[in-house]
Amino acid sequence: ELKVEQNPLFLSMQEGKNYTIYCNYSTTSDRLYWYRQDPGKSLESLFVLLSNGAVKQEGRLMASLDTKARLSTLHITAAVHDLSATYFCAVEPSMTTDSWGKLQFGAGTQVVVTP
Amino acid sequence: DSGVTQTPKHLITATGQRVTLRCSPRSGDLSVYWYQQSLDQGLQFLIQYYNGEERAKGNILERFSAQQFPDLHSELNLSSLELGDSALYFCASSATSGYTDTQYFGPGTRLTVL
């Protein structure tokens, strides 16, 4: 069974500093997604990483994927209050076509950015 | 706004009852996915429909069922409800059958079982 582990589960950030969220997964996959969820709200797609070495950047967020290490990172540069949210990684198993679309989510990392 | 709509936003019901949650995908999307989000289980994939056919199944209880209609909207039916079914239920949609598709999530239906 595919397991997806995120750490840390809670991250208290100071404005202006840099932080990284890690997402490890247990089986072969080259498709990984990052989502953001604000309290009581839906999930917003941030990044789609579809190959080994993929790197995507949007504003202060940068995501990368290392399929050999089964690891994705979400790097936050110069944190600001607006980035306070819960961040989820999700892995799409790629072994068989039956597994396509069945996203397995990590537990989420709750980020709180304070001045 | 993702373009995925879900109704109702909130649902409060009693144990043993049956409810139906409704989802309309983004215009042009053929796949609909259902997820359950709870504090103890996190976000769990329940089921996927693609162009009216069941495509993939996850951790969906036998008391739960879903379908996708010819106009591509989907319904999730939950029956013999238990306290533990209280959760946020999300619907998501994607353009095709799921391979590398981004899934766009609706606002969710919060189900409370008393």
pLDDT at A94 over 90: no
pLDDT in tens, B53-99: 998 899 899 999 999 999 999 999 999 999 999 999 999 999 987 66
Q: Which residues of B touch A97 (CB under 8 A)?
A: 99
Count CA atoms closer than 13 A to B110's CA, side-chain side. 6
What tokens appear for B100 in the block? 């590398």
pLDDT band at A40 (very low <50, low <70, confident <90, very high): confident
**How many whole angstroms separate alpha carbon A7 and alpha carbon A11?**
9
The answer to whether the CB atoms of B94 and A48 lie below 8 A apart is no
pLDDT in tens, A55-89: 999 999 999 999 999 999 999 999 999 999 999 99
The answer to whether the CB atoms of A107 and B100 lie below 8 A apart is no
pLDDT in tens, B3-60: 999 999 999 999 999 999 999 999 999 999 999 999 889 999 999 999 999 988 998 9
Q: Show Cβ contacts of residue A6 under 8 Å, excluding neighbours closer than 6 positions.
A: A21, A22, A23, A24, A87, A88, A89, A106, A107, A108, A109
Q: Which residues of B touch A41 (CB under 8 A)?
A: 107
Picking from B100, B101, B104 by the largest number of A CB atoms within 10 A of its own CB, the best residue to mutate is: B100
The answer to whether the CB atoms of B43 and A98 lie below 8 A apart is no
What residue in A sits closest to B59 (Cα-Cα)?
A: A102
pLDDT at A98 over 90: no
